[in-house]
Structure 1
Amino acid sequence: MNRVESLKHLMKSVKQDSGSIMQQSICYDHKRIWSISISWGFVVQVLRGVLSPRELEMPTRTFLNWYKRADYTAYSFNTRPITKNPCQKAFLFYMNTTRYDPVKKTIFGTYSRFKTRPPECSWQMQSPEIIDSIIVSKKPDPLRWQRSTRRDCCRVLPTQENSTMSLWVGKCEEGEFSEIDLDGKEDPVFD
């Protein structure tokens, strides 16, 4: 898409829930040991392994300094460096469609995987490349800007198809926060 087309595409999500546009939510797939970052209406990132919410909140560095010497302190904001380990590369799913279901009073956003050749990874865990699309559901929240903590929580929902992941995003319940608990299992195996 060119810039105008991509902006029109983004505005489809803005019309559904303007207060949540590009609002980041973080959750974890406990079964597959994946970290998931959702920017509503734009992109879902799925990474192997567990990254803390603090790391996932930081934007990934997508630019370089103009100077030949790599001075990352020249900017007034923190960025997450591009990982050197191919197993930690994020799998990106960009917003494809969004629709409102008046019966369920829920917005459904479908995100499709950006098809690139996945890097070779020696970690003994399932790869996010098996997922082709992610469906994110959420209730519109017109009073979002009146709440003190505007961060949404998210949960991985069970699905019938292996190639589809289903996520719920919404207002956090009392005491709810993003975490991963390996249920007493051993730490994941990394080489």
Structure 2
Amino acid sequence: MISSTFNFSSTAIWKTLAFSTLILIVLIIFSNQPNSLQTDIIHVATNQSFLPLNTTNISHLVFGLVGSTKAWRYRKSYIESWWRPNTTRGYLYLDRTPTDDLLPWSQNSPPFRISDDNSKLLVETKHVAPIMVRMVHAVIEVFREEREGVRWYVMGDDDSIFFVDNLVDELSKYDHTKYIYIGGHSESIISNQVYSYDMGFGGAGLILSYPLAKMVQQNIEDCFRRYPYLNSADLILMTCVNDFGVSVTPHQGLHQMDIRGDASGFLSAHPRVPLLSLHHFDHIDPIFHSMDRFESTNHLMKAANVDQPRLIQQTICYNRNLNWSFSVSWGYSVHIYEKLIPRSILKIPLETFKPWIQKAKPPLYIFNTRTLSNDPCATPHVFSFESIKNINDYESKIITSYTRFGSRGLPTCGFANNHSVDSVSRINVVSPNRKPNQNGKTECCDVLEIDDMGVAKLNLRDCMNDELIA
């Protein structure tokens, strides 16, 4: 009996010693690792654990916007249209202290910081583009300011217009613990060829996951030393990120807007992805022709603040009795054609705009376009977004209203059987107050009525199984 007890106790003691030794070995291994590894372990443990239960939200995004004091006085309206004080995280990095006319600093603007003095680095590297170094260096500066709970760093310019709710939704689809670099291509073929198709264009927004931003913060100054001849901030960042083994993940919702003039054709046929950003509003006409650029931006945000996922998403439907085609760009415009035109044609943007490089030769754009014509069957009647309201019937819905932009000055299309769209003065579009179906298809719509007052009513809805848009 004594022998049996002794054997049992010995076994228990040896098991305890073995387990304790294993724990001690693990502690020794981690205690000998660099501090950065310990910091990353803490960051992941405190902020990135239980990923399936902790969906990305606006607090996980930090914006780093780079601008100049001189330009801010007339560009701040672009940023204030989407910035949410006390909610959005981030900073505006200026080249010098704000002048008296900008003080006291507006509470509707991002808090500002003065960019680091990089003069010693510039002397050492003999870099050819000091301004571009300053812009890229902002990644270091915003990372230094904001780290707690951050998943994504969104870098932009002082005229970048972001759609924050859509950004949050889209970034929640990616694993923020991996090395990810998201960007948008230029709309201009020549810009992509001159720089790179593997580069994100910064005005559209460059998005770095936390691990990648940390790596950039630790290595970017060495990158300046390796590539002192690069003269573009976006190219510098892309080259450095590629040295880390990371390539761009392109997103069609990020828009550099490398076009000029009337962008309405582009915005009325957006790809079937959420709108994440717009840029270069100083280089295009006001997107609502009866308003200036800043009024236009705020007007678009009226729709964005109610239903951002549906913003400028294209939906197409037909009135076969009248031979009319309707193309809805939700929250922006409605086009009516006096002919039944396939969706494969209507989804191609009308070339209302001009190329970014004026003397460039075709092909000009990275997407197909439809040329403008005086053909009454190919030229739409255009209606612009006017107002938006919520209604609560048996189901919560949203009504957007669109009014005629102006007369086409063309006769009725022969296919319309003398049914001219000139009689229509307003279009009301009813949509469900929820996100569009995420099943890979666009929404469908019905032309409910066109009354004697010239008001057309359309209804957006989920497409039925096997329903054709034709």
Q: Identify the match of residue 41 of structure 1 among 331, 351, 373.
A: 331
Task: Name the counterpart of 1:6.
Answer: 296
The one-letter code sitting in structure 2 at the alignment partner of 1:35 is S
CA contact (8 A) 2:316 2:343 kept: yes
The one-letter code sitting in structure 1 at the alignment partner of 2:367 is F
How far off its partner does 1:73 sit? 1.7
Q: 1:114 to 1:78 in 2, by over 3 A?
A: same
Superposed CA deviations along residues 60-83 of structure 1, whole A, max 9, x for unmatched, are 001345238xx4423211111112
CA contact (8 A) 1:118 1:129 kept: no
Distance 1:84 1:117 in 2: 9
CA contact (8 A) 1:87 1:120 kept: no
Unmatched tracts of structure 2, length 5 or more: 1-290
Task: Name the counterpart of 2:432.
Answer: 139
Q: Identify the match of residue 95 of structure 1 among 374, 377, 385.
A: 385
Task: Name the counterpart of 1:109.
Answer: 400
Matched, 1:168 2:466: no
Superposed CA deviations along residues 132-153 of structure 1, whole A, max 9, x for unmatched, are 00010010223x47x2315111
Residue correspondence of structure 1 range 41-80 to structure 2 within 5 A? 41-65=331-355, 66-67=358-359, 71-80=361-370
Superposed CA deviations along residues 17-72 of structure 1, whole A, max 9, x for unmatched, are 1110000000011111011100000000001111110000001001345238xx44
TM-score (norm 2): 0.35
Bigger CA radius of gyration: 2
SS of the residue aligned with 1:10? helix
More helix by share: 2
Q: 1:150 to 1:49 in 2, by over 3 A?
A: same
Percent identity over paired residues = 27
Deviates more, 1:81-90 or 1:131-140: 81-90
SS of the residue aligned with 2:299? helix
CA contact (8 A) 2:412 2:419 kept: no
Distance 1:115 1:74 in 2: 29
Unmatched tracts of structure 1, length 5 or more: 180-191
CA contact (8 A) 1:35 1:49 kept: yes
Higher relative contact order (CA 8 A, sep 6+): 1
- What is the aligned-residue RMSD (CA, Å)? 1.9
CA contact (8 A) 2:349 2:370 kept: yes
SS of the residue aligned with 2:305? helix
More strand by share: 1
Distance 1:101 1:137 in 2: 10
TM-score (norm 1): 0.83
CA contact (8 A) 1:87 1:119 kept: no
Matched, 1:153 2:444: yes
